[in-house]
């Protein structure tokens, strides 16, 4: 199975900061990577798909990049409503494995 590793596990940043989360795959997944945002008590919400495509309705401050085994999610100017846990997910193989999550907190 493909393993997904995210870093950091937690990050704390101020409103307006640029924030970057990294996700590494144990083998190449081309660009078959999605990012999800999850707030407490809610279902995950798709933010980025195919590594760099922004889902409809998602603010333009969210962007994704990478291919192969290394990927990043960037929030260009952190807003209070971005406080959440973010998960990467590979969909290169049938076992759609998730990373362990990165909790983004507002200072």
Question: Site residues (CB under 8 A) for another protein?
Answer: 1, 34, 36, 38, 43-46, 49-50, 53, 55, 85, 87, 89, 91, 94-101
Nearest by Cα to 34 from 6, 61, 73, 7: 73
Tell me the C-alpha distance between 14 and 78, whole Å: 7
| Cα distance between the two ends of the chain | 37
DSSP code at position 21: E
Closest to another protein by CB, 61 vs 98, is 98
Which residues are CB-contacts of 67 (< 8 A; sequence separation ≥ 6)?
30, 31, 51
Q: How far is the CB of 13 from another protein (least distance, A)?
A: 21
Closest to another protein by CB, 18 vs 50, is 50
Q: How far is the CB of 14 from another protein (least distance, A)?
A: 26
Tell me the C-alpha distance between 5 and 23, whole Å: 6
Q: How far is the CB of 15 from another protein (least distance, A)?
A: 26
Q: How far is the CB of 90 from another protein (least distance, A)?
A: 9
């Amino acid at each position: 199975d493909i393993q997904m590793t995210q870093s950091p596990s937690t990050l704390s940043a101020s409103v307006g900061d640029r924030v970057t989360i990294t996700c590494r795959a144990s083998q190449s997944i081309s660009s078959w990577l999605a990012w999800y945002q999850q707030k407490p008590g809610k279902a995950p919400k798709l933010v980025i798909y195919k590594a760099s495509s922004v889902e409809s309705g998602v603010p333009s401050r969210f962007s994704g990049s990478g291919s192969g085994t290394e990927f990043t999610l960037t929030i260009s100017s952190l807003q209070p409503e971005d406080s959440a846990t973010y998960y990467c997910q590979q969909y290169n193989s049938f076992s759609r494995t998730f990373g362990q999550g990165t909790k983004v907190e507002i200072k």
